Amino acid sequence: MSQPIASSDLLEKARSLRPLIEAEADATDRELTLTKPVIDAFTRTGLFHLMVPKALGGAEADCRTILDVFEELAHMDGSIGWSQMANASATSYCAFLDPEAAKEMVGGKPDAVFAGQFAPRGSIKREGQGFRLSGEYGFGSGSGHAAYLGGGGFVMGDNGAPEILPSGMPAYLCYFVPKSKVEMKGGWDVMGLKGTGSFDYRVPDQLVDPRSTFYLFDSTVRTGGPFYGLGAAALAGLGHAGWGLGVARRALHEIVLIARGGRARLGSASLIDQQVFRRDLGERIFALNSVRTLAHEVYGRMERRLQAGEKLAKIDNDEMMGAVAYLTQVCEEIVLWAYRNAGSQGLRNPSVIQRCFRDMLTGGLHVFVDRRSYEEFAKGKLGVA
C-alpha cells in the first residue's frame, strides 16, 4: 500500500493544477466528463482521495483543508471542480464499509474512485448473507471514470415494509458495485455542469456482498478517525459548500475584470464609475466572506466535538446541511448578479462568467442544498418531533 497523503500540501497541489484545468475546461464540456489529463492529475496529486482514511492510503484531510481544496478547484472550473468533489465525497464512504473490503477497493489505489446516486431508487431484499438488489439511478457525477458505482434503497422485509434497525431507524442501505456490473445509460444533456459525467445508470439484478454496504441512517465508522462521524450526508454537504464558494468567488473575480476593462452601456457611465455597482460589489464580497466563515465555523465546531469523543445528533446534521443550503443561496445570488452586470460580455462564448452562471444555477438544484433543511433545523430548535 502507498504511503498516506500529507494533507499539509494538498491546497498547494490543487493550486498547481490551475493551468491544466483551465486549459481542459472546454474539452471537458465537449466530452461531458473529465478528460484523461485531468483524471491523471487528480490521481497523481492524490486529490481524488482527499477524504479517504489514512489507513487506506488517503489524506483524511481536516474540514478546513477539504473546504479550501474544493473551493480552489471550483474556482478554476465549475464542472471539473464538481466532478472531483463528487468523487472525493463518495469515495469517503469507504470509511463505513468493511475494512478489508474497503482496502480491496481503494487501498493504495489513488485512481480508484466511487460515484453514484444514493437516493432510495433501488429494490433491495436479503438473500442468504447478502442483498439481492437492482435499481435505476441518475446524476452519477464522476461516473465516467469511477471504479465503483453506488446506489441506495430500503431493505424490504417479507411483509412489504422496510426493515427497522435496532436504532429504530429504517434500514436505508447504500451499496457499491464494480462498474463492470453496471449498465451506463448516458443521458447527460444539460445547461450547466456539462462536463461532470453525471450519467444515468442501471444496476442489474445481482447479489451484493454486505461488506460493500452501509446504512445511511445508522452509518458506523469502520476505518479512519472521528472526522467520519459527520455522517454520509454532511460529508457530501462539505463538498457542496466548498464548490459553491469557488464558483461564486470566480464570478466576482470575472465581473471585477470586466468592470476594470471599461464595460459601459450606451449613454451610461462606465460600470466601474457607478456608485450603485460599487456598493453592490462590496456588499457581495462581504456576503461571500460571511458564508465562507459560516461553513468553516459550523463544520469546524462539529469536527472538534467529534475529536473530543462526542456523537452528533440529528439537529447537528440539520445545522450543517442548513448552513450549506444558505451558503448556496447566497452564492447563487452573487453569481446571478455578476452575470447580469456582465451584459453582452457574458453572452458570447467562450465566457467564464456565463459558465459560472450555468454551473451555479444547475448545482443549486441539488437535493443536498434544498432549503427544506432550514425547516428541519428550526423544528429541532422548536422541539417539534
Residue 50: pLDDT over 90: yes
From 93, 16, 6, 13, select the one nearest 57 (Cα to Cα).
6
Residue 6: pLDDT over 70: no
Predicted local distance difference test score (pLDDT) of residue 7: 65
Strand segments, DSSP code E, in 261-356 are: none
Per-residue pLDDT, averaged over 345-374, amounts to 95
Do the Cβ atoms of 115 and 140 come closer than 8 Å? Answer: yes
Residue 128 pLDDT grade (very low, low, confident, very high; cuts 50, 70, 90): very high
Do the Cβ atoms of 328 and 245 come closer than 8 Å? Answer: no
* CA distance from start to end of the chain: 47
**Could you identify the residue written with the cell 441506495?**
152
Who contacts 237 (Cβ-Cβ below 8 Å, separation ≥6)? 320, 321, 324, 368
Q: CA 313, CA 230: separation in Å to the nearest integer?
A: 10
Per-residue pLDDT, averaged over 298-304, amounts to 98
Predicted local distance difference test score (pLDDT) of residue 346: 94
Computed on alpha carbons and rounded to an integer, the radius of gyration of the chain in Å comes to: 21
Predicted local distance difference test score (pLDDT) of residue 218: 86
Residue 310: pLDDT over 90: yes
Domains observed in the chain:
7-106 (1.10.540.10), 114-218 (2.40.110.10), 226-382 (1.20.140.10)
Predicted local distance difference test score (pLDDT) of residue 2: 55
C-alpha cell at 369: 442544498
Per-residue pLDDT, averaged over 10-17, amounts to 97
From 56, 101, 100, select the one nearest 225 (Cα to Cα).
56
Q: Pairing between strand 183-186 and 130-140?
A: unpaired
Angle at 14 between CA 358 and CA 361, to 5 degrees: 15
Query: Is this model's pTM higher than 0.75 or not?
Result: yes
Who contacts 179 (Cβ-Cβ below 8 Å, separation ≥6)? 143, 146, 147, 148, 149
Do the Cβ atoms of 190 and 92 come closer than 8 Å? Answer: no
- Residue 21's alpha-carbon distances to 80, 197, 353, 385, in angstroms, are 7, 16, 16, 47
Predicted local distance difference test score (pLDDT) of residue 3: 66
Per-residue pLDDT, averaged over 121-130, amounts to 97
Q: CA 70, CA 45: separation in Å to the nearest integer?
A: 14
Do the Cβ atoms of 300 and 63 come closer than 8 Å? Answer: yes
Q: CA 56, CA 239: separation in Å to the nearest integer?
A: 20
Helical H segments across 154-274, by residue range: 232-260
